[in-house]
Structure 1
Amino acid sequence: MPKEIKGLRQFQANCRRLSGEIDGLVGPALRAAAVAMAGHAKGNAPVDEGTLRSDVGVRPLPGGGFVVGVFGEAEEYAGYVEFGTEDQAPRPFMTMALMQTLAEAPGIVPPLVDGRIRGAVKSYKV
């Protein structure tokens, strides 16, 4: 005689619901990390003001995700600043921003996602 596990159907329904909600949690976490990286890049820019610093930004990608980069007038020469030229040493402000953000990511992404998952789970039927 098969045994029935009490609450199994509701548990399965809650798991399916959570699975569907996780996609909605990833976007805000990625955006928070991208905004943090853009802030680091602006702070690392080898100038105090001007187009290079002001043109650093975050843009959404089609299909999800974000890109951090230099958009606008400074886009033409940002690569020369980052990687250098024959006459100019590299000043890797974007690479340093990526490294800083990767070091901080465990403090940015998991708390944001964890809090939202806990909130979603609290609303589930038991």
Structure 2
Amino acid sequence: MVSFTGSLQAGRCPASVAGDGIKKVYLELGGKSAFVVLDDALFDKAIAAGVNNANDSRCGLAGGVWAGTPERALNVAKQLRTGQVDINGGRFNVLAPFGGYEKSGIGREIGPLALEEFCQLKSIQR
């Protein structure tokens, strides 16, 4: 297993080397994080444009949504193509899997899913 954190350009090398050696690879690659601010006014077009701009990025590691109600923020958070989204400045959960979408990385770190990323399964029949 290869684990790498860095820029998109620098991440190409370990990804290529891991691919040549058929190794599992976890990549966390830099990029812009989405941050959408809602003030509960009638800004539906601005919200849609914000989501579209955030999702138009080559990277999707993390984002944030602020709103007057958690339900409204959750509706927008579900539309963002990012590995994690904070609602109203939500705290980072150290047990939650960490990783991104698209070219911000491959795989997950932290939590039970991360352990599986670093393991290989074996079937034994008798």
Larger radius of gyration: 1
Q: Which has the higher contact order (CA 8 A, sep 6+)?
A: 1
Q: What TM-score do you get using the length of structure 1 for normalisation?
A: 0.29
Q: TM-score, normalised by structure 2?
A: 0.29
Structure with greater proportional helix content:
1
Kindly indicate which of the two structures has a greater share of residues assigned to strand: 2
